[in-house]
Amino acid sequence: MIGLKPSRGRTPRTATLSASAQEPAVEFAVTKSVRDTAQLLDAVGLSLPGEPAWGSGRYVTAISRAPRRLKIGISTEPWNATAVDHQVAAAAVAAAEMLEWIGHSLVPGKPRLDSEDIVEGEMLAIYAAGRAMLSAPRPVDASLLEAVSRLVLVEASAADAGALHAATQAQRRITAAVDRFFEVHDLLVTPTLAQLPLRHGTLDYDDPEGDVRAWLRKLFDYGPFTAVFNVSGHPAISLPLAESREGLPIGVQLVAPMGGEDLLLQVAAELEQAMPWTGRQPSIFAG
Amino acid sequence: MLRGELTADEIVECARAAVESVNPDLNALTLPLLDEPQEYDADGCLAGVPLLIKDSSPFARGMPFSLGSRAIRGAVATQDHQLMTGFRSAGLAALGQTTAPERALPPNLGGTASHGIRGRWTGAWEGPAAVLLHWSLPVRSLWRMATTVRARSGFRPLAAE
């Protein structure tokens, strides 16, 4: 299953916070092929500010061509201290090596940034969710919320302009760090998650222990690679390129410069062709 | 199908049969599938391609929603989110709704309020992923990247309670 997270602003968003706060949430859809993703983005994608308007079929056309030779960064080390499962890391390395075999050049490296800025940047999503609850047409009955949602409500109620400013500044630092990385790289390859898929209930949302930031850090132990780009707003795609010995799906993430979905989809299409996933089927399956 | 030709109605019925055959194992739907797909543009580039909408976004006119929360009961979207308007114009045929974790904030289902999703490949994604993974048709269901902490905001203008 392919998940494209388009550039911030590529798909319509609903703003809860002030205009200057860029909420991490992005809306799109999951698909089974790169072509479907390209076609859907052609259908609903918007032009980013400063970007020229283009005719129909930009992304579908893009994936019919091979990209130029790219300088691709690869990292399997997250920004926090979490350990990466060795099968997960191996899948990202194998994808990167495939891209090298295809003809791109590979360099170890990732954006340099502070992992606490990721947590603080994600607080924008917390404030937005909390404010949406606070401004709902009917008062939210907090007793019906799960424990972390109750904490979200408390955080959002207490958040003043200073808290919002701090989160926005953290987000800007993350975005700038990723922009700097893409001044000298065309693309980044990382694992999608740090671990194999967890059993449901492992990340207990109804656990009242700790505060919202502690809960966010727990999430980042599981998914440190995706959170960065949720905050930064850069386009990223997860491709189902591997399967664990236990038969669990392993994703590999590609990240591109802001607005670079065409490049992202071109490389995704190269990997789809070189490392096809259509033959893998889960045990519960309707064909 | 052997002729390589299918009508949109045949695809929808095929999708219905496939989803209904795996949902008892997955429990990935919030509601039974719609009797008819929601309105879509029959001239769109993806005309008739089945779509399952996640119970967190985008809001689709006429579709009930709870944002995966016990705190929201009986709400129905009275208008489309702008992205849903785009999906309709593209021709996507919304056929049902998949589960979401509360307010789309956690990356996985399984809390006390959420639907008890099942299936072998769970944990990273939610209802939409479960259906898509376990289904051979090119259905698109709403998605955000794993671990995305999602801001939900559309509830206020859209709720009809």
Minimal Cβ distance to A219: which of B107, B110, B133: B107
Structure confidence at residue B25 (pLDDT):
82
**Cβ neighbours, 10 Å, residue B68:** 29
Would the CB atoms of B161 and A138 count as touching at under 8 Å? yes
Q: Does residue B20 carry a pLDDT above 50?
A: yes
E-strand ranges in A173-262 read 187-191, 236-243, 249-255
Taking only the tens place, the pLDDT of each residue in B100-132 is 888 877 776 544 434 444 443 333 344 555 555
How much of chain A is helix, strand and coil, in % rounded to 5? Answer: 45, 15, 45
Minimal Cβ distance to A32: which of B22, B138, B153: B138
Structure confidence at residue A52 (pLDDT):
87
Structure confidence at residue A199 (pLDDT):
76
In angstroms, the separation between the Cα of residue B20 and the nearest Cα of chain A is 9
B140 compared with A276, residue with greater pLDDT: A276
Rounded to 5°, angle at Cα A66 from A65 and A68: 125
What residue ranges of chain A have pLDDT lower than 50?
Answer: none
Q: How confident is the model at residue B142 (pLDDT cuts 50, 70, 90)?
A: very low
Structure confidence at residue B4 (pLDDT):
66
B45 compared with A105, residue with greater pLDDT: A105
Q: Between residues 60 and 89 of chain B, which touch chain A (CB distance below 8 Å)?
A: 69-71, 81-83, 86-87, 89
Structure confidence at residue B113 (pLDDT):
39
Structure confidence at residue B131 (pLDDT):
53
Mean pLDDT, chain B, rounded, equals 70
Helix axes A212-222, A147-158, angle to 10 degrees: 120
From residue A60, alpha-carbon distances to A42, A153, A205 in Å are 7, 42, 39
Strands A249-255 and B50-54: unpaired
Structure confidence at residue B7 (pLDDT):
85
Which amino acid would we find at residue A60?
A: V
Look up the pTM and report it.
Answer: 0.89
**Cβ neighbours, 10 Å, residue A175:** 22
Structure confidence at residue B145 (pLDDT):
26
In angstroms, the separation between the Cα of residue B88 and the nearest Cα of chain A is 10
Taking only the tens place, the pLDDT of each residue in A53-94 is 877 899 999 999 999 999 999 999 999 999 999 999 999 999
Structure confidence at residue A256 (pLDDT):
98
Q: Please tell me the distance from the alpha carbon of residue A102 to that of residue A96, in angstroms, as a whole number.
A: 10
B56 compared with A37, residue with greater pLDDT: A37
Q: Does residue B155 carry a pLDDT above 50?
A: no
**CA atoms in the 13 A half-sphere facing the CB of B68:** 34
Structure confidence at residue A219 (pLDDT):
87
Q: Does residue B135 carry a pLDDT above 50?
A: no
Let me know: does A93 contact A239? Beta carbons within 8 Å.
no
Would you give the DSSP letter of residue A286? Answer: B
Let me know: does A77 contact A110? Beta carbons within 8 Å.
yes
B14 CB near a chain A CB, below 8 Å? no
Minimal Cβ distance to B134: which of A136, A251, A284: A284
Structure confidence at residue A144 (pLDDT):
92
Minimal Cβ distance to B102: which of A31, A205, A248: A205
Complex prediction ipTM: 0.91
* Chain A residue numbers touching B58 (CB-CB < 8 A): 27
Structure confidence at residue B121 (pLDDT):
37
Question: Best mutation site among B46, B147, B155, B161 for testing chain A: the one with the most A CBs within 10 Å?
Answer: B147
